[in-house]
Structure 1
Amino acid sequence: MTELEIIEKVRAQPGIYIGHKSLTAFVSFVGGYVEGLKVSGVDVIQDINSAMQEFIPTWYNIPNQYHWSRILLLVCVTEEAAFEEYFRLLDLYLKGVDPITRGV
């Protein structure tokens, strides 16, 4: 299963994978999953969360010295809101929306 596939499974059923909609739990889970793939010798073809490290700071016009998850936790009120915002931005990234112009 690819990184994107596990991310989509968490989106569909967060309670099964991470207990509830929490960005912090999501980041830890996916990070552990990807590390497990690498340790097992599986090539991670599409590193989504590395791509989001460029996309999210650019979207919010914040220096990317901060991890994308920290940025979302700063701009969103709750863990759940940050979780939802991640998936909204992921969809935009996957559609090829330019974070500088915001698709305009």
Structure 2
Amino acid sequence: MTQELITGTAVFDDEGKQVGKVADTSDVDKVGIITETGSRFWVPTAMLTHRDQRWMLEPGYTEISPAEAKTQQAERELDEANAETFPASDPPSFTMGDEGKGG
């Protein structure tokens, strides 16, 4: 991309109508968009182009439904929480050796 996406930048559809503003650029493969009504959806980065001095969705792009956006956000939060658990900071409180066995 020739121009960097910045949070708060307006995004337009292929007819020139504003669909929302950039809300999240933390993912390399997709961009979070927030609409005037406050709903959010994700757009694959490949579906955005910078032309005529503004960011535009590729022709024919279909907005993700609110239910799918919510599912994607939940999955992302789960992935982030999972990533934060590794590497484990403390070793297990037990070992699987021969200690403690009578004999």
Q: Which has the higher contact order (CA 8 A, sep 6+)?
A: 1
* TM-score under structure 1 length normalisation: 0.27
Q: TM-score, normalised by structure 2?
A: 0.27
Higher Rg: 2
Q: Which has the higher helix share?
A: 1
Relative to total residues, which structure has the larger strand share, 1 or 2?
A: 2
